[in-house]
């Protein structure tokens, strides 16, 4: 199953730390299953894109990423979304704690 | 009546979703489809990157499980706008590219699959120039069959 996400956004020293977990099979061309993997990830801070990622089938199953954004404040709205090679998408939103 | 209404709502929802799918962000098919590290580098516009000590790769020297190898890449090169990760001996070497803007720091931590022991290469793009660093990670059990 692909879809569910978890995220934690916290304040570090001088930056916002964003840890996000995505539920996705991330199957490869080498496996016996149909190729199914996330291709695009967008991280937004208060509605503005800060990280745009393109990823391949070489990212581990149920991907986990950590990103950092300079500065930031408690309550900032962080949103992470993904799009896979079958056109499926998912997103999650949280306030910086 | 209710059924028809449900169907119509469903069709409307599909029509609404379609344009979003069409807006799909770009995915660099050529670079991700490259089968050699050189072609992957060319694909991301970094055919001949300069070695840099300001690009750090944190990763285990030995990864027992190639299906989940944690890698942390950070760039101290001023003006870094992108970081790419290339696993030289994977069937498709380019693993990911991250573009940073609007205050995102040139830092990323990710888990990758490694088919076998390989150099892992990070590439940073800063002010139109390309920089690189690499680190060998030994893999006990390959992880590309997943």
Give the structural domain span for A77. 5-95
For chain B, positions 115-144, list CB contacts with chain A under 8 A.
115, 143-144
> Cβ contacts of residue B2 below 8 Å, gap of 6+?
none
How many separate domains does chain B show?
A: 1
The residue in chain A having the minimum alpha-carbon distance to the alpha carbon of residue B71 is A65
The whole-number pLDDT of residue A30 equals 82
The whole-number pLDDT of residue B6 equals 62
B71 with B85: CB under 8 angstroms? yes
> Which of A12, A14, A15, A23 lies closest to A80 in space, CA to CA?
A23
Give the structural domain span for B61. 25-141
* ipTM for this prediction: 0.96
Q: Residue B92 falls within a domain, yes or no?
A: yes
The whole-number pLDDT of residue B129 equals 97
Q: How many residues does chain A have?
A: 97
pLDDT in tens, chain A (97 residues): 567 999 999 999 999 999 999 999 999 988 888 999 999 999 999 999 999 999 999 999 999 999 999 999 999 999 999 999 999 999 999 999 9
Number of CB atoms found within 10 A of residue B87's CB = 30
The CATH number that applies at residue B69 is 2.60.40.2470
Distances (CA, A) of A74 to A14, B101, B106: 12, 20, 21
Number of CB atoms found within 10 A of residue A84's CB = 19
> Which of A18, A13, A54 lies closest to B98 in space, CA to CA?
A54
Phi/psi at B7 (nearest 5 deg)? Answer: -60, -45
How many separate domains does chain A show?
A: 1
Distance from CA of A53 to the nearest CA of B (A): 4
Q: Residue B20 falls within a domain, yes or no?
A: no
The whole-number pLDDT of residue A18 equals 98
| B21 inside 8 A of chain A by CB | yes
Q: Residue B15 falls within a domain, yes or no?
A: no
| B87 inside 8 A of chain A by CB | yes
B56 with B76: CB under 8 angstroms? yes
pLDDT in tens, chain B (146 residues): 566 666 655 555 555 554 444 444 699 999 999 999 999 999 999 999 999 999 999 999 999 899 999 999 999 999 999 999 999 999 999 999 999 999 999 999 999 999 999 999 999 999 999 999 999 999 998 777 76
Residues A41 and A91: their CA atoms lie apart, in Å, by 9
The CATH number that applies at residue A28 is 2.60.40.10
Q: Residue B3 falls within a domain, yes or no?
A: no
**CA angle, A62 then A64 then A65, to 5°:** 150
Residues B116 and B89: their CA atoms lie apart, in Å, by 7
Q: Residue B135 falls within a domain, yes or no?
A: yes
The whole-number pLDDT of residue A58 equals 97
Burial of A46: CB neighbours in 10 Å, binned 0-12, 13-18, 19+: middle
H or E segment at A29? none
Contact A30 B115 (CB under 8 A): yes
Q: Residue B126 falls within a domain, yes or no?
A: yes
The whole-number pLDDT of residue B20 equals 45
**pTM (predicted TM-score):** 0.88
Place of tokens 């299953």: A33
Please tell me the number of Cα atoms within 13 Å of B47 on its side-chain side: 1
The whole-number pLDDT of residue B13 equals 54
Residues B109 and B93: their CA atoms lie apart, in Å, by 18
């Amino acid at each position: 199953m692909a879809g569910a996400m978890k995220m934690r956004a916290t304040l570090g020293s001088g930056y916002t730390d964003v840890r996000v977990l995505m539920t996705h099979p991330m199957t490869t061309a080498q496996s016996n299953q149909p190729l199914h993997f996330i291709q695009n990830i967008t991280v937004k801070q208060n509605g503005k894109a800060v990280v745009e990622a393109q990823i391949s089938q070489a990212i581990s199953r149920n991907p986990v990423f950590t990103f950092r954004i300079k500065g930031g404040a408690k309550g900032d709205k962080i949103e992470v979304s993904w799009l896979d090679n079958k056109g499926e998408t998912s997103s999650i939103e949280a306030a910086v704690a | 009546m209710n059924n028809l209404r449900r169907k119509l709502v469903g069709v409307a929802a599909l029509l609404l979703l379609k344009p979003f799918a069409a807006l799909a962000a770009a995915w660099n098919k050529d670079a991700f489809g490259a089968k050699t590290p050189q072609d992957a580098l060319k694909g991301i516009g970094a055919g001949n990157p300069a070695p840099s000590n300001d690009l750090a790769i944190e990763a285990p020297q030995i990864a027992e499980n190639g299906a989940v190898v944690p890698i942390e890449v950070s760039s101290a090169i001023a003006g870094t706008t992108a970081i790419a990760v290339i696993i030289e001996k994977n069937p498709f070497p380019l693993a990911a590219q991250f573009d940073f803007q609007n205050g995102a720091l040139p830092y990323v931590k990710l888990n990758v699959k490694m088919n076998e022991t390989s150099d892992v290469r990070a590439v940073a793009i800063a002010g139109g120039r390309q920089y690189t660093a690499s680190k060998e990670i030994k893999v006990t059990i390959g992880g590309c069959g997943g």
